[in-house]
Amino acid sequence: MKNRLKLLRAERDWSQGELATRLGISRQSVNAIETGKYDPSLPLAFRIADLFALRIEDIFLRDEEGAGE
């Protein structure tokens, strides 16, 4: 399960801490998700999608998706 979180965050010039605050989670959780340590829970994935006004499928990708690029 890959994700485009780091990219989306960079587009908005947000630090990990700032994104964490907006999501109501810890900075370390943001870091862990970005660096692929684990996947967020489904409710958190929805909050992330809402924050960026995107669909979950546009932020989180199956491991094959977009891999060959």
Partner DNA sequence: GAGGCATGTCAATGACACTTTACATTATGT
Partner DNA sequence: ACATAATGTAAAGTGTCATTGACATGCCTC
Nearer to a second copy, 13 or 42 (CB): 42
Identify residues 12-51 at the interface with a second copy (CB under 8 A): 39-43, 45-46, 49
Radius of gyration of the chain (CA): 11
Residues 39-67: b if buried by 16+ CB within 10 A, e if exposed: ebeeeebebbbeebeeeeeebbeeeeeee
What residues make contact with a second copy under the rule CB under 8 A? Answer: 1, 39-43, 45-46, 49, 55-57, 60, 62
What residues make contact with DNA under the rule CB under 7 A? Answer: 9, 15-18, 20, 24-29, 31-35, 37-44
